Structure 1
Amino acid sequence: MTDGNGFLGGRLLVVAFEGWNDAGEAATGAVRSLKQLLELSEMTRVDSELYFDYQFNRPVISTGEDGRRKIEWPGAALYGPVEPALPGTAPAPADDLAVGGADAGNIYLLLGTEPSRSWKAFAAEVIDGALTADISGIVFLGAMLADVPHTRPISIFTSSDNAELRAELGVERSSYEGPVGILSVLALAAEDAGIPTMSIWASVPHYVHNAPSPKAMLALIDKLEEIVDVVIPRGDLVAEAAEWESGINALAADDEEMAAYIEQLEQARDTVDSPEASGEAIAQEFERYLRKRDGRDGRDGRPGPDRPR
């Protein structure tokens, strides 16, 4: 760990990618919320020509405030604080509009779209940018479609392949083996480069996968704030999460089959969350879910999302 200060003692990079790893747009939504709150500037951006198939990830055209038409290309960019915190700097005060806490000035963001090709070269370029920025730890945010009810708190899973970090933060090591997305590739590349990493994943109800999930975004932000020493304003997310849940309740009220299915999910979730459920039973249930989810993905018919590392 950097300078003996542990995972939380230096510059932290929070990462999210659109695509396989982003059910309900929860991970990228959480990072975009942070980007709006932090005073950041773009440090580096990958060359989209090298890594993206534009027939798969098409560029988007829009009209700017000046009336000119512009094209936004898929890609990935690293953002850093306009004024990085100095060692020993007192924590920034938290208010309703700004991120505060001991690490507020040490948060960097990587936001982008999962590349179509050349993943090894992409990972090398990203990790080179992280090393140049003197990043000392990386937090990956992800979201997967799951057999979970929208009426219960969003399930969050944290894991790390770094033994020191697991001991420091009390997180587990994932035992998943199977297909992965770009987050896993970047995580292993970072560990090989000496940058410790951890992952935070949210479970999004698969029966509402077509809509953004503010409740899952909120759950990721809650867990990130818990682990990293920051205070993150929630803005309108709390109200949006309540509206999201109410909207699904209204749909289920008009669909007996959907309502019955949700009730089954609620019973299963309540059993896992009961005081009688052992940690081993919960772990077995999660691994059972991972095995069952292999080979399917409710977003667009591709294989299931990248799994928590």
Structure 2
Amino acid sequence: MTDADIPVLRNPWMVAAFEGWNDAADAATSTVDHLLEEWDAEIFAELDPEEFYDFQAVRPVIAPSENGSRDIVWPTPTLYLAHPPGQDRDVLLLRAVEPNYRWQAFCASVVELAQAAGVQELITLGALLADTPHTRPVPVTGSTNDPVLMERLSLDQSRYTGPIGITTVLSDVAARAGLATAGIWAAVPHYVAEPPCYKATLGLLGALEDAIGVGLPQGVLREMSEAWQRGADDLMEQDEDLLDYVRTLENERDAGDTPEASGDAIAREFERYLRRRGSDDA
């Protein structure tokens, strides 16, 4: 895609999620999938998978096509464009499998496309397995290089050190190119890690909403999150050892929470409600 092929967009922002190491219980990519469906997004650009994937590790698949034949579908990193109704900003959404090769070149290509489209803010989404009880709100942490995003997010800043995934590299390359960046991570209870985890997806959607400062559509996510919660509760009630373990995690979580933190969470949820209601009224 050349600059001449890029349409004029309205102050676009960008969100990215990757399958694999960065995507416990598919929570991050499910967030992007949800927005793709809600906003009826269309393909904006695709990257050549030959440059970035080991096809023995990330295999192409054969699938039926619209004309009745069967086509080979390659693991192609894809940027989608959405025009959210009732909003004055366009959105680019990147969904891809975490590359096997040439991470810096991959990220440079993504950032080049983002800059050509006029993107100034990039949000990456991730999810990890953690010792957290499913009976409490999903812990969401984040990091950012931008004071405006930091104020909007109101998240505990990540103090993680250790191996990293492609989301961290993409944020670093984008920040060096002058973009405001934020990385948002949801913690998925490790004992109910089978995807999907709608509660973690809903948590990421809420934090993404905070970062951008506009209401995002929940669709059926709230109902699916409640159904997931009921399923996890049933599993816990059927296993006495798991029940004891969850109670231990609850005690540890509750001991670390402060009244101020609980009040902040309630205030953030009310602000999200007001934003969504404002978007629906627009």
TM bucket normalised to smaller: 0.7 to 0.9
2-structure distance, mates of 1:50, 1:147? 37
1-structure distance, mates of 2:126, 2:178? 22
Cα distance, 1:12 vs. partner?
Answer: 0.7
| Cα offsets for 1:76-132 (capped at 9, x unmatched) | 111224x6xxxxxxxxxxxxxxx44544x3211111110011111111111111111
Determine if the alignment matches structure 1 residue 247 to structure 2 residue 220.
Answer: no
2:33 corresponds to: 32
For 2:103, which of 106, 115, 119 is the aligned residue? 119
For 2:118, which of 111, 134, 140 is the aligned residue? 134
For 1:193, which of 169, 173, 177 is the aligned residue? 177
1:13 corresponds to: 14
Sequence identity (%)? 40
1:159 corresponds to: 143
2-structure distance, mates of 1:171, 1:148? 17
| Cα offsets for 1:175-220 (capped at 9, x unmatched) | 3322100011111100111111011111100111122101111111
| Cα offsets for 1:226-272 (capped at 9, x unmatched) | 23133222222112111111112212222111111111111111112
Cα distance, 1:39 vs. partner?
Answer: 4.1
TM-score, reference length from structure 2 = 0.82
1:44-193 mapped onto 2 (5 Å cutoff): 44-81=45-82, 99-103=84-88, 105-163=89-147, 165-166=149-150, 173-193=157-177
4+ long deviations beyond 3 Å: 99-103, 162-175
Cα distance, 1:160 vs. partner?
Answer: 0.7
1:210 corresponds to: 194
Gap runs ≥5 in structure 1: 1-8, 84-98, 278-309
SS at 2:35's partner residue?
helix
Structure 1 or 2: larger helix share?
2
Cα distance, 1:44 vs. partner?
Answer: 1.4
Cα distance, 1:225 vs. partner?
Answer: 1.7
2-structure distance, mates of 1:116, 1:148? 30
1-structure distance, mates of 2:71, 2:64? 6
SS at 1:16's partner residue?
strand
1:289 corresponds to: none
Determine if the alignment matches structure 1 residue 226 to structure 2 residue 228.
Answer: no
2-structure distance, mates of 1:69, 1:203? 38
Decide whether aligned partners of structure 1 residues 130 and 161 sit closer, same or farther in structure 2, where only a CA change above 3 A counts: same
1:283 corresponds to: none
Size of the alignment, in residue pairs? Answer: 253
1-structure distance, mates of 2:228, 2:152? 36
The answer to whether the 8 A contact 1:15-1:110 is kept is yes
Cα distance, 1:274 vs. partner?
Answer: 3.4
The answer to whether the 8 A contact 2:141-2:157 is kept is no
SS at 2:179's partner residue?
coil
SS at 1:135's partner residue?
coil
